[in-house]
Amino acid sequence: MKLQQVYSFVRKAIDDYQMIEEGDKIAVGISGGKDSLTLLYALQGLTRFYPKRFQIHAVTVDLGFGNLNLDGIRELCRSMDVEYTVIKTDIAPVVFEERAESNPCSLCAKMRKGALNQAIKEIGCNKVAYAHHKDDVVETMLMSLVFEGRFHTFSPVTYLDRMNLTVIRPLIYMNEADVIGFINKYQVPVVKSPCPADGHTKREYIKNILRDINHETPGVKERMFTAIRNGMGKGWEYSGSTQ
């Protein structure tokens, strides 16, 4: 996928859900994975020609595994003229050693978001951009149905009143396959996750189920996404045209 196509998907999501306003300073959460780096490319490009002026600041939470090499991302941010902050934490030792969590993802996510949000406020950002794409939207809904018994997924825009911070998700119209195509075409310096639970989570289980269903019944993922967008209600009202 070409960068111009990424811009198109991201700009439509931003416009449909009014994600960006004049003067926003947006932190871009960078894990080092394919999704967050695609988002960085997209938002950095949009700062040059989007009609509403905004700034971005890349932020990575170092969980403390001790083997996270961010040199490639630092160089990428320098080449893009994007400020980059790395937040050092001891989340990994707490979750995997002190607490020895059998299901570490939930606690790790809460601690990571807490560290990220606090740092974002200190940097002076009023918004944070997460790199959730269309597959993430549908997978989260299926996880909620299977493991919680409710129809729920995250919204394109979420306001965190306690932090006075707005979360935006500009990649929601992109398929994971689109992201992979972009990363491969431009040889983006993806950093492999050092987490020992990577690839062995409930999300991975649901991802495999969704892949099988979509293979047997082509188009089911798109129909699920349409059902979410049209039926989820609060947070999913949009001003753009139907895709």
Q: Greater confidence, 198 or 2? A: 2
CATH code where residue 125 lies: 3.40.50.620
> How far is Cα 131 from Cα 117, in angstroms, rounded to an integer?
15
pLDDT score recorded for residue 242: 43
Residue-wise DSSP of 16-61:
HTT---TTEEEEEE--SSHHHHHHHHHHHHHHHH-SS-EEEEEEEE
Which segment of 63-67, 125-129, 173-177, 196-200 scores lowest on mean pLDDT? 196-200
Does residue 236 fall inside a structural domain?
Answer: no
Burial 94-125 (b: 16+ CB within 10 A, else e): bbbeeeeeeebbeebeebbbebbbebbeeeeb
The count of structural domains within the chain is 1
Does residue 150 fall inside a structural domain?
Answer: yes
Does residue 70 fall inside a structural domain?
Answer: yes
Does residue 100 fall inside a structural domain?
Answer: yes
Which residue carries 């997978």 as its tokens? 139
- Is the pTM value of this prediction over 0.95? no
- According to the per-residue pLDDT averaged within each range, which of 18-22, 89-93, 161-165 is highest? 18-22
Question: Bridge partners of 88?
Answer: 62
Does residue 242 fall inside a structural domain?
Answer: no
- What are 80-105's pLDDT values in tens digits? 999 999 999 988 888 888 877 777 78
pLDDT score recorded for residue 239: 58
Does residue 241 fall inside a structural domain?
Answer: no
pLDDT score recorded for residue 14: 97
Task: For residue 141, count CB atoms less than 10 angstroms from its CB and return exposed for 0-12, middle for 13-18, buried for 19 or more.
Answer: buried
Question: Cβ(129)–Cβ(117) under 8 Å?
Answer: no
Does residue 79 fall inside a structural domain?
Answer: yes
Q: For residue 26, what pLDDT band results from cuts at 50, 70 and 90?
A: very high
Which of 155, 207, 143 minimizes the C-alpha distance to 176? 207
Q: Which domain holds residue 82?
A: 3-231
